[in-house]
Chains A and B, each alone.
Chain A
Amino acid sequence: DTGVSQDPRHKITKRGQNVTFRCDPISEHNRLYWYRQTLGQGPEFLTYFQNEAQLEKSRLLSDRFSAERPKGSFSTLEIQRTEQGDSAMYLCASSLAGRELFFGEGSRLTVL
């Protein structure tokens, strides 16, 4: 296993469409995190899972956002009815027992 994998790397969509991002963590890592990074800013925490349980969600995660981690393996982040303000890099990270985070290369969303 070479690291955290994210797909797609880049998604262009029209406002109002739904998009889904997938993250495959490092195989032995039990924790998985989603962050959002807008241009010129540092990443901001969105949510995290321990195994299949979603333990915390940021206020940034509006009701148009939903994340799942079925069976405690890969995770998906879905954004419904996208808005231009959703344009950002969505970063996934994983860790083992709360130690350091290992990040994927991100999924860049552009909403036209």
Chain B
Amino acid sequence: AQSVTQPDIHITVSEGASLELRCNYSYGATPYLFWYVQSPGQGLQLLLKYFSGDTLVQGIKGFEAEFKRSQSSFNLRKPSVHWSDAAEYFCAVGEGAQKLVFGQGTRLTINP
């Protein structure tokens, strides 16, 4: 069965610092991978996706993620965070986008 693990429930970083959010997945075939961001009380916004090809994908808001098949990981990175990046981040895996399985989420807090 598909599953997604986000090991860090809560991360705090200082504004301007670099960020890496971890995501590990379990999937039988080549997965489709996604990162979504959710602000409090809001829906989910797609940050980036990996379907195939270049394993380093660029997304919106300066985020990027790298697919590493050997490690079953799809970690999200940003070189310098802004206060507006504070939110909940979800990693998801699926076959196409039909029935995504989401991780538990990582809550990001930014210190000024």
- Range class of the B interface residue count: 20 to 34
Q: Say yes or no: A43 contacts B102, CB within 8 Å.
A: yes
User: Complex Cα distance A13/B7, Å?
Assistant: 35
Report how far A105 CA is from B46 CA in the complex, Å.
13
- How many A-B Cβ pairs are below 8 Å? 55
Give Cα A40–Cα B104 distance, bound, in whole angstroms.
Answer: 7
Q: Which residues of A contact B99 (CB under 8 A)?
A: 45, 48, 56
Cα A56 to Cα B36 with chains together (Å): 23
Task: Choose among B41, B44, B96, B101 the residue that contacts A103 (Cβ–Cβ < 8 A).
Answer: B44
List B23-81 residues whose CB lies under 8 Å from chain A: 34, 36, 41-46, 49
Query: Which of B41, B42, B100, B104 sits near A101, CB closer than 8 Å?
Result: B100
A48 and B105 CA atoms in complex are apart in Å by 23
The A21-51 residues at the B interface (CB cut-off 8 A) are: 31, 40-45, 48
A95 cross-chain contacts in B, Cβ below 8 A: 97
Closest chain A residue, CB of each to CB of B96: A98
Provide the residues of chain A in CB contact with B42, threshold 8 Å.
105-106
Shortest A5–chain B CB gap in Å is 10
Partner of A99, one of B36, B97, B103, B105: B97
How far is the CB of B98 from the nearest CB of chain A, in Å? Answer: 6
Interface string of B75-112 (1 = CB under 8 A from A): 00000000000000010100011111111110000000
Assess whether A103 is in contact with B104, with CB atoms less than 8 Å apart. no
B104 touches A98 (CB 8 A): no
Residues of A within 8 A of B (CB): 4, 6, 31, 40-45, 48, 56, 91, 93, 95, 98-106, 108
> Contacts A42-B92, A99-B96, A106-B41 given; 18 further ones with Cβ under 8 A?
A31-B98, A41-B105, A42-B4, A42-B90, A42-B105, A45-B99, A48-B98, A91-B43, A99-B97, A101-B34, A103-B36, A103-B43, A103-B44, A103-B45, A105-B43, A106-B42, A106-B43, A108-B41
